[in-house]
Structures are given as C-alpha cells and as structure tokens.
Amino acid sequence: MIIGTGTLLRIVRTWLYTNLNAQIRKALSGEPAFSYKHSEFLGSPFKPLHILSKPTPPPQNMATAVKKLLHPHRSRDEEKSGHDNQSSGHDRQDSASERAREEEKQNLLQWEEQKQPLEPGQIDDANHKTIGQSSNVLRQQDFELIKTLGTGTFARVWLVRLKDTNNGNENTVFALKILRKTDVIRLKQVEHVRNERNVLAGVAGHPFITTLVASFQDRDSLYMLLDYCPGGEVFSYLRRARRFNEATSQFYAAEIVLILEFLHEREGVAYRDLKPENILIDAEGHLKLVDFGFAKKVENRETYTLCGTPEYLAPEVIRNTGHGTAVDWWAFGILVYEFLVGQPPFWDQNPMKIYEQIVEGRVRFPSAMSSNARDLISGLCTVDTSKRLGNISGGAGAVKAHPWFQDIDWDSLYYRKVNGPIVPHLRGPADTRNFDEYEPESAEREPYTQDMSNKWDEYFKDF
C-alpha cells in the first residue's frame, strides 16, 4: 500500500508560515448593545479601560484624567464608536442578507475594539460565546487584503481591514487565514483543517491563544478570521537575541504552561506543534499560540498520526506507540531549553540522528544552566510518559509548582496584570514591521472541480 506516490506533494508541509496570524486580546463580542452588560454581569477581571462600573474608584478617575489630558481625541473616539454601534441598524440595506452582513461586520468591528480575554468558564460556554462561530454571510470581498503575514503550502495569512463599514477605523484590523480547498485535499490535510477550526472555535477567548473571531467559506476556499498579533514571532526575537535570560524564559514558559493546562485539562486537546515559530507576541508583550493545524481533541484516547516538528517530536511519536497530551510536555521541555540555550537539545544534520537522540532521551545541559532549569527540563523531557512531568499526578499543576516557576504569580499572569518582557514598539495596531516580507501569491491555481466539490463539500460543511 503506497500513499502519496503520484503527486510531488510533500507531506512535509511548509506549514511553518501558515499561521503567522496574530492577535492582541481575546474577547467577548457580539450584540453591541449587550456586550458591556455581559462582561459586567460576569464580573470579568479583564475589564480594560471601560470604566462603566458603578462607583468609579478614585485611581481610575485619575487614570481617566491623565488619559484625557494626554490624549483628548481618544476618549471622544470611544464615545463615538459606542454610539455608532447602537445606531448601526439605521443604515438600511436593500436585502435582508445585506443587512445581516452589515450587522455582522459591525459586530466584528466592535469586537476588535473591545476585545478582552474570557474566563475559562466562559470559553467553554459555547452557547453564549459569540466568537468562533461559522458565518454564512461573510465573504472575502468584505475584507481589504493589506499585506501577507505568512504563507504555507496551502494557506496564506493576510492582514485585513473590513471594507465599506460605516465607522471603519483604519486601525481595526484582523488576520485572515485563507486555505485553498484543492491544496488542502491534495496534501491530505482535510482532517487536520477541520480539527484546526473546531479546536480554535472551542478555545476562542483564552488570553494566550489566537482568537478565531469567525470562519466562513466560498466555493474554493476556507477562511479563518483571527485577531492580529502585531509583535511577530517569538522565534524572531529569540534568534535575534540568541537566547533569552532566565526571567524572560520563565515568563514565556509560564504563559505556555497556562495554555497547555487549559488545552489538556479543560479541552482534552493535544496541540502537537509547540515551537517558537508558532508563538506570537501581542501588543502588550504577552504570548499568543497560533497554528492549530495539528491540534486534536484526544481526550482519553491515544492517537497515532506522526506530526510535529522534527526537533520537537516526542519519543512516543517517533516510535508510534500511541501518543496523547503528554507530547506537549515533552515539546515544552525542548522549548524551555531552546529559550535558555538558543537551540534545541537534540540536533543533527541528519533527521534520523535527531530521532535516535530523542528516543534515547539523554539531554545535555550547558554548565551555566541553573539547577532548577535543568531539573524542570529533565522532568519534562523524560522518555517514559509515566514519569514525565506534566503527565504524572498533578498534571499541569505539578509543572506550575516546580521551583523554577517559584516567582510566578499564576493568577495575575492569566489576567495579564503584568506586561511581557518584550513589549513591541508599534506605530499602531496595524503595524506590520515585525513580520517578514513574502512573495506575492502565484496566479496559477488548481481549480476546485465539480467532482471535488461533490466528494469533499460534505467535509467542509461546518466550516
């Protein structure tokens, strides 16, 4: 039985850039009139600048005063946008569907302006969540494609702006990931793409995971609208700095721990492609995990498809004995090592030699690495999953309790009470200076034929 012979497709996907999408903060969105109430009702501790709470405490007054002093225009803009959102219904369109589209676009705008992270309980509450929904009315034509943020074999991520909206603010931007159905099918990634959308929809709202604002499709493409994360990849910062100091590594590692804790223990999801390339920095210096192309809801069943990035593959993936969420803890150990050292512990020019080292699992540490860091990495990069930190009793809690993280205040981290160690310098929310330049999209495209449509549309119907 031979798979993948005919075509020259490389299952080795150049998926790497696929998801350089981006985000700033997570959020409640939805019905303009209700969204404030909603967040108030839930008592969200994320409440940012909106000072709608009952008796405004003096320090916030002061903050408002300072803000007004320094930037009088801004608060006026905020008030204005509030009005417009409420009056958006005035703008009559001809057809009902046009009205629905306009409304949806307004919702998107409003979400982007007010986004804030959700509490774990809200993220899980699919019935009340307005983000991550599949939209019947949005179309590519609703977006102005500004610049490519990343490319892959079958996907391209664009910085986009909503077109023709009443109060279109040019700083309100999103990342739009466009996948060509033909390529997805050709590269046998249909299942992975479905997993990606569903997992992202389920986790939308987490403070450190890219927010799927909406998804939609047309005849030959799939679209995922994500929040834009202007800081670029941790990868770029890491390579530029060669390595991170211990404090920076701890901060980033800690946010990743919160992500994994949430994905594994609340969602039953294994992410399966942790690496600096898939972690973006947002405007406040916090992380956003992107590219859920390999993420899968595994729950208590093991899974077998080999996927990931060579240096970060866990031994059980290589040996094909079945794997689960424990692979992320292994990769997390590799990641912390790479943060501190500047390169992963297992490397060779020949990938088979990398795998041989991984299966053997002997990590060598530079003499300067602190003993706590070594102990953490050794615990995570343990070949035997029944002894691997994160997978053993206590789960993510055992990782959080590790001495290397003793200075982390986990609650204030989740609620983003501290800024990240690298706060990107931006000219504005739509600044793309932290992303590389990419070749323009090639004009030739394989058509999505009627045959393909008959066979595959079924698989894409929920997108």
Partner 1 sequence: MSLPPDYSNEISALDREILKSQPHDVLQFCANFFLRRLESQRAEFLLAPQHSSPKGRGMAQSTFPGNNPFGKSNTSAFESIEEDDENDVVASPTASSFAPAVMDKAHPQPIAEEDTFGNFGNFAGFSGSAGAVKPPQSQPPSANPHEPQSFPNNYNLNRRTSVSAESLNPASSANDNWVPPFHPKTDEQQARLRSAVAGNFLFSHLDDEQSAQVLGALQEKPIPTKGIKVILQGDVGDYFYVVEKGLFDIYVNPSGKLENGPDGLGTKVSSVGQGGSFGELALMYNAPRAATVVTAEQSTLWALDRVTFRRILMDSAFQRRRMYEGFLEEVPLLSSLTPYERSKIADALETKKFPPGTTIIQEGDVGESFYILESGEADVYKRGNSKSLKRYQKGDYFGELALLNDAPRAASVISTSEVKLATLGKNGFQRLLGPVEGIMRRNDPSKAQHSDTVDPLSK
Catalytic residue list: 273
Q: Does position 241 bind partner 1 by CB under 8 A? A: yes
Residue 250 to residue 183: CA distance in whole angstroms: 39
Binders in 269-308 for partner 1, by CB under 8 A: 273, 275, 277, 283-284, 293-294, 299-302, 304-308
Least distance (Å) between residue 67 CB and partner 1: 5
Contacts of 98 (CB under 8 A, 6+ apart): none
Closest distance to partner 1 from the beta carbon of 226 (Å): 18
**Using rule CB under 8 A, residue 237 touches partner 1:** yes
Q: How far is the CB of 103 from partner 1 (least distance, A)?
A: 28
Under the criterion CB under 8 A, does residue 50 sit at the interface with partner 1? no
Asked if 110 and 31 touch (Cβ cutoff 8 Å), the reply is: no
Strands 287-289 and 279-281: antiparallel
Query: Which one of residues 418, 438, 453, 456 is an interface residue with partner 1 (CB under 8 A)?
Result: 418
**C-alpha dihedral, 15 to 19 to 20 to 25, nearest 10°:** -160
Known binding-site positions for ATP: 177
Q: Are 156 and 146 in contact (CB under 8 A)?
A: no
In whole angstroms, the minimum distance from the beta carbon of 438 to partner 1 comes to: 12
The answer to whether 11 contacts partner 1 (rule: CB under 8 A) is: yes
Number of residues counted as binding partner 1 (CB under 8 A)? 118
Contact 145, 16 (CB under 8 A): no
Q: Which of residues 72-101 bind partner 1 (CB under 8 A)?
A: 73-74
Among the listed ranges 121-129, 131-139, 140-148, 319-327, the one in contact with partner 1 (CB under 8 A) is 319-327
Instruction: Single out the segment in contact with partner 1 by CB under 8 A; choices: 38-46, 158-166, 177-185, 368-376.
Output: 368-376
Nearer to partner 1, 60 or 97 (CB): 60
Name which position in 37, 52, 53, 71 contacts partner 1 (CB under 8 A).
Answer: 71
- Mask: binding to partner 1, 175-214, rule CB under 8 A, as x and -? -------------xx-xx----------------------
For residue 240, the minimal CB distance to partner 1 (Å) is 6
Location of structure tokens 């793309």:
432
Length of the chain: 463
What's the rounded Cα separation, in Å, for the pair 29 and 130? 6
- Please give the C-alpha separations between residue 149 and each of 134, 307, 372, 417, in angstroms, as whole numbers: 23, 24, 37, 28
Q: How far is the CB of 36 from partner 1 (least distance, A)?
A: 17
Query: Is residue 386 a contact residue for partner 1 (CB under 8 A)?
Result: yes
- Rule CB under 8 A: say whether 43 interacts with partner 1: no
Helices 72-87 & 96-114 angle (0-180, nearest 10): 150
Residue 68: C-alpha distances to residues 36, 61, 74, 76, 91 (Å) = 22, 10, 8, 9, 31
Q: Kindly state the helix (H) or strand (E) to which residue 120 belongs, with its residue range.
A: helix 120-124
Radius of gyration of the chain from Cα atoms? 22
Name the maximum alpha-carbon separation found in the chain.
Answer: 72
Q: For partner 1, which stretch binds (CB under 8 A), given 141-149, 157-165, 412-420, 448-456?
A: 412-420
Q: Which amino acid is at 203?
A: V
Among 37, 53, 56, 62, binds partner 1 (CB under 8 A): 62
Quick check: 353 binds partner 1 (CB under 8 A)? yes
